[in-house]
Amino acid sequence: MVPDEALVRLEACGICGTDYEQYEGEFPSPLPLIPGHEPLGLVAEIGERAQERWGVAVGDRVAVRSRYGCGQCEACARRDYRHCPQGGGYGFTSIDKPPALWGGYAEYLYIAPASALRKMRPDIPAEIAVLFNPLGAGFAWAVNVPQTRPGDTVAILGCGQRGLCAVIAAREAGAGQILITGLARDEHKLGLARELGADVTINVEAEDAVAVVREATGGGARVVLDTTPYAPQAVTQAIAMAAPRGTVVIAGLKGQRPVPEFYSDELLHKELTLRGVWGVDEASFEQAVRLIEAQKYPLHKLHTHSFDLSEAERAIQTLAGRFPSEPAIHVAIVPHARP
């Protein structure tokens, strides 16, 4: 083993909307590749210096962050591999680049020297432990980026895995009121949102979400988080439901579609902060891992499906809602999943 590298035997790999976009060809990817950017596994082999750097040894369970860096630049010196211009992503690197094992839909994953790993408790089921990805996004987008304080009102648009994880994160931050939206077919997700701590759930097909949020919060939410994919009108709604001096966080990709009826004057009148987010910072990742290890929330209710490696395509389609009789929230590839 090279001193700075490791090899991980995968226990689970989470699937998110980005996997679906990659599968559909909407997210540019250097083919051929092994997909999978939300890996969790056991250290199978590790170099001496890598052991020291990451504080892990053979047999330890590790959560692996999605990006790796070049190890040479200023961003890498801060271990901020998300912003390394020469770096890459697990699940987004061609197998033409040695040693080819760059994706989480596999039995083994190569770990490059400039990667971020964290040891995790081994006794939590792998498909639950791997929720550090959406939960990290929940902390980053609903709490740390908008600086949510105890007592704040938080409105979340969209109740997929990230929207639901944002409910948990907002509750952990002591939010005074949490509101979340979904479609009519999301009733099971909205029910779970209430169980996880949402105070108000809104079916946007039956109710005027902006009016409900304004009414319930007495004038608008201090923090509004948009997690909805391909729904550009949600940006207009998010701005309309924000309280004066509030923060609007945009996390849902809109597939390059323009926002309809966007009036920038509302940003001025209300002195809003409008913020885009991409991925998860290290502090949010850490909060997510700790919360999973604390076993404080019924996270197993978020995890609806595990699929064997051989069923990877069905796993992606299930997450994307292709099978209405099988409503999915969090889906993971679990190599050698028990039937």
Q: Is residue 36 involved in binding Zn ion (CB under 5 A)?
A: no
Q: Which residues of 31-53 are buried (b: 16+ CB within 10 A; e: fewer)?
A: eebbbbbbbbbbbbbbbeebbeb
Alpha carbon distance 109, 65 (integer Å)? 12
Nearer to Zn ion, 75 or 179 (CB): 75
**Which has the closest alpha carbon to 3: 88, 102, 125, 113?**
113
Quote the least distance from Cβ 38 to Zn ion, whole Å.
5
DSSP annotation of 50 reads H
Q: Is residue 70 involved in binding Zn ion (CB under 5 A)?
A: yes
Q: Residues in contact with Zn ion, total (CB under 5 A)?
A: 7
Site for Zn ion in 223-242 (CB under 5 A): none
CB atoms within 10 A of CB 323: 12
Nearer to Zn ion, 69 or 160 (CB): 69
Q: Which stretch binds Zn ion (CB under 5 A): 71-79, 160-168, 201-209, 325-333?
A: 71-79
Quote the least distance from Cβ 85 to Zn ion, whole Å.
7
Site for Zn ion in 183-222 (CB under 5 A): none
Quote the least distance from Cβ 182 to Zn ion, whole Å.
20
Quote the least distance from Cβ 22 to Zn ion, whole Å.
10
Alpha carbon distance 143, 225 (integer Å)? 10
Are the CB atoms for 217 and 237 separated by under 8 Å?
no
Site for Zn ion in 122-161 (CB under 5 A): none
Q: Is residue 18 involved in binding Zn ion (CB under 5 A)?
A: yes
**Which has the closest alpha carbon to 311: 338, 328, 326, 333?**
333
Site track 74-113 with Zn ion (rule: CB under 5 A), x = hit: --x-------x-----------------------------
- The phi and psi torsions of 5 (rounded to 5 degrees) equal -115, 175
Q: CA angle at residue 215 from 209 to 221, to 5 degrees?
A: 75
Quote the least distance from Cβ 75 to Zn ion, whole Å.
5
Nearer to Zn ion, 18 or 217 (CB): 18
Nearer to Zn ion, 70 or 183 (CB): 70
Are the CB atoms for 173 and 143 separated by under 8 Å?
yes
Residues that bind Zn ion (CB under 5 A): 16, 18, 69-70, 73, 76, 84
